[in-house]
Amino acid sequence: MADTAYPRPQLVREHWQSLNGLWKFAFDNDNLYHHPADPINWSNQIRVPYPPESETSGIGDRGFHRACWYERDFDIKAGGERVMLHFGAVDYSARVWVNGFLVAEHEGGHTPFSADITRALNASGRQTVTVHAEDDPHDLAKPRGKQDWQLEPHSIWYPRTTGIWQTVWLERVPGTYIQKLRWTPHFDGFEIGCETFITGDLEDDLSVSVRISHGDKILADDHYKIIGDETHRKIALSDPGIDDSRNELLWSPERPTLLDAEITLRHGDQVLDRVRSYTALRSVNINRDRFMLNGRPYQLRLVLDQGYWPDTLLTAPSDDALKKDVELAKAMGFNGVRKHQKIEDPRYLYWADKLGLLVWEEMPSAYRFSPQAVTRLVREWIEVIDRDYSHPCVIVWVPFNESWGVPNLTSTQAHRNAVEALYHMTRTLDSTRPVIGNDGWEASATDILGIHDYDCDPAGLLGRYGSAAHTQELFDRRRPGGRILTLDGYPHRGQPIMLTEFGGIAFTKNPTPGTSKDWGYSKVDNENELLQNYRNLLEVVNNTAIFSGYCYTQFADTFQEANGLLYADRTPKMPFEQISAATRNIKNAAPTADNVA
């Protein structure tokens, strides 16, 4: 990732230092070493934050590796402030030392963690950070998403990711500082909820001021006394009163209006800390059988996005690559993505916020049910919600997909309990967004009924879901993928119905005979056939009244899967204007955005 891309876009300070770049590296397959002082054989160098399985890391080793070590020197002096060390994500568990002192331990491969390393720093200013990452490739009871447990990627699973795979960075903070912000839009009252969390040396007479602006116009400039270590306030925005003016302040994919914010922490008249952030005014909710954005029915046009790149795997090649993926989804006519089995880098969410793209966020699955698996999933999912709660682009939470990790939902009460518990916990932690308990089939507690159906015959889809179909028969008798759509005791209660996976049409220019490098749910032989099949499917789905949204599989080819609308290098298989017209159900559309390629 480019060192100029600030890793935490909704809580920005001026002074920070990236630790991306070359580190010493060693595999530890037998987990022999336990401390930086042990005789670790530093036989390699790795380019952080790219995982060792990736070519860009300089290692490119996709074998089974249970553990690995990282180490590098850096220069920083403590001075009169605290020094924080941040990790975007380390897969799966990590221990971190600075100058031989243990400063952090964290479990969970998709969420960030930090450490105050001030007391571990050398007075000379020359420091050493060492990281031990453990990630058993055969452990199916941890959230791992699409990471394959077999040596070679097969079917719909991809190469593993071990160790550091998001930015490592430093920042200076004062002795008392703003640790976290949490924004909640209140659409009906034209208000923004702002929660500030303060940590460090807490004193009396602490206060925080919040200034929210849009361009040159100040919408709010409020000042609050801090009681304890946090504040919770609803900030009334300057309401223009006229619908057109109000609409200009609302965030949507068509008009992604962000509101800039500056938050200042004071002790009396002394400024202790100041950060920049942003928020947006928008609402998402369910009204009977429709998804609502900003109080109005909104048809979701999503594309399934695995979030992998050929040479860097789960890690994006650069911040520009993340921005480009957002632009490409919009150029193809989609208004959102379903990030599939991946918690994406916060920089992607920043670009989705800024450019206007909706995001369904889905927890990577474990593949074995056990108390340990559930404990791990719950702990990490809480961290995910906490990290991404304030992003306006995030509109739906999905804790389970296709009964992965809970395979016996129809027969085992504990598996049902897990889905229902995660649904209600998610709704408790965030009451502002819809939650899908288990996407695809075997639904119980859910706000949206998501159906996965890879029938690539438009007539078949029309027969199941068209105007002649009866909703009750759909849920009582139809079994797309061989699975019942709702569990007994959980009949359809009028929630929106969405086709959340379909398509999967594979096409590659030069298929390799005798290999599975062109895997898909169906296959075509040329671009014209691909375009015609895509048009036919999207026409049926767009015109089927029962659907309040859809998600096409998929955004880009991913390793052996050749069912993307884009090749793995993000070049299009069909002209952008033709993809976009079919996506939006527009015939003879004028050319659009083909210069994005």
- Report pLDDT digits (tens) over 125-140: 999 999 999 999 999 9
Same domain, 60 and 139: yes
Question: Is residue 78 very low, low, confident or very high in pLDDT (cuts 50, 70, 90)?
Answer: confident
Same domain, 39 and 85: yes
Region 194-212 average pLDDT = 92
Q: Which residues pair with 220 in a beta bridge?
A: 212
Model confidence at 52: pLDDT above 50:
yes
519 and 506 Cβ atoms separated by less than 8 Å: yes
Question: Is residue 204 very low, low, confident or very high in pLDDT (cuts 50, 70, 90)?
Answer: confident
Output the pLDDT for position 595.
Answer: 41
Same domain, 254 and 157: no
Region 335-340 average pLDDT = 98
Same domain, 162 and 192: no
d(CA 323, CA 337): 13
d(CA 458, CA 96): 54
Model confidence at 53: pLDDT above 60:
yes
User: Domain boundary residue among 131, 166, 201?
Assistant: 166
Question: What domain range includes position 488?
Answer: 284-596
Return the number of other C-beta atoms located less than 10 Å from residue 498's C-beta: 24
Same domain, 54 and 151: yes
Same domain, 238 and 358: no
Question: Is residue 597 very low, low, confident or very high in pLDDT (cuts 50, 70, 90)?
Answer: very low
Is the residue at 326 inside a domain?
A: yes
Domain count, the chain: 3
Using DSSP's 3-state secondary structure scheme, residue 192 falls into strand
546 and 478 Cβ atoms separated by less than 8 Å: no
Q: Which residues pair with 265 in a beta bridge?
A: 208, 273
* C-alpha distance from residue 424 to each of 259, 429, 431, 449 (Å): 31, 9, 10, 16
Q: Encode pLDDT of 443-462 as tens digits.
A: 999 999 999 999 999 999 99
Mean pLDDT rounded to a whole number for the chain: 93
Model confidence at 1: pLDDT above 60:
no
Question: Is residue 239 very low, low, confident or very high in pLDDT (cuts 50, 70, 90)?
Answer: low
Question: Is residue 512 very low, low, confident or very high in pLDDT (cuts 50, 70, 90)?
Answer: low
Region 187-194 average pLDDT = 92
Region 337-366 average pLDDT = 97
Is the residue at 358 inside a domain?
A: yes
d(CA 534, CA 576): 13
Q: Which residues pair with 501 in a beta bridge?
A: 452
Model confidence at 591: pLDDT above 60:
no
Same domain, 146 and 275: no
User: Domain boundary residue among 279, 297, 312?
Assistant: 279
Structure token pair of residue 69: 């070590």
Rg (CA), the chain: 24
Is the residue at 6 inside a domain?
A: no
**What sign has the CA pseudo-torsion 74, 76, 77, 78?**
negative
Same domain, 34 and 97: yes
Model confidence at 493: pLDDT above 50:
yes
Is the residue at 7 inside a domain?
A: no
pTM (2 d.p.): 0.94
Using DSSP's 3-state secondary structure scheme, residue 159 falls into coil
Same domain, 65 and 114: yes
Output the pLDDT for position 596.
Answer: 45
Same domain, 351 and 369: yes
Output the pLDDT for position 468.
Answer: 66
CA-closest candidate to residue 409, choices 379, 381, 438: 438
Tell me if the bond preceding 299 is cis, omega within 30° of 0: no
d(CA 127, CA 99): 6
d(CA 438, CA 445): 8
Output the pLDDT for position 248.
Answer: 86
Same domain, 84 and 194: no
Is the residue at 32 inside a domain?
A: yes
Provide the percentage of residues in the chain whose pLDDT is more than 90: 82
The CA-to-CA distance between both ends of the chain, in Å, stands at: 21
Output the pLDDT for position 481.
Answer: 72
Model confidence at 480: pLDDT above 80:
no
Model confidence at 479: pLDDT above 80:
no
DSSP state of 247: H
Output the pLDDT for position 79.
Answer: 83
Is the residue at 490 inside a domain?
A: yes
Output the pLDDT for position 297.
Answer: 96
User: Domain boundary residue among 232, 264, 279?
Assistant: 279
423 and 384 Cβ atoms separated by less than 8 Å: no
Q: CATH number, domain at 60?
A: 2.60.120.260
255 and 293 Cβ atoms separated by less than 8 Å: no
Same domain, 404 and 513: yes
Model confidence at 504: pLDDT above 80:
yes
Output the pLDDT for position 563.
Answer: 96
Is the residue at 473 inside a domain?
A: yes
DSSP state of 38: S
Model confidence at 593: pLDDT above 60:
no
Q: CATH number, domain at 592?
A: 3.20.20.80
* C-alpha distance from residue 453 to each of 485, 500, 507 (Å): 11, 8, 19
504 and 554 Cβ atoms separated by less than 8 Å: yes
Output the pLDDT for position 588.
Answer: 57
Q: CATH number, domain at 196?
A: 2.60.40.10
Q: Encode pLDDT of 524-556 as tens digits.
A: 999 999 999 999 999 999 999 999 999 999 999
Provide the percentage of residues in the chain whose pLDDT is more than 70: 95
Region 497-523 average pLDDT = 84
Is the residue at 15 inside a domain?
A: no
Model confidence at 240: pLDDT above 70:
no
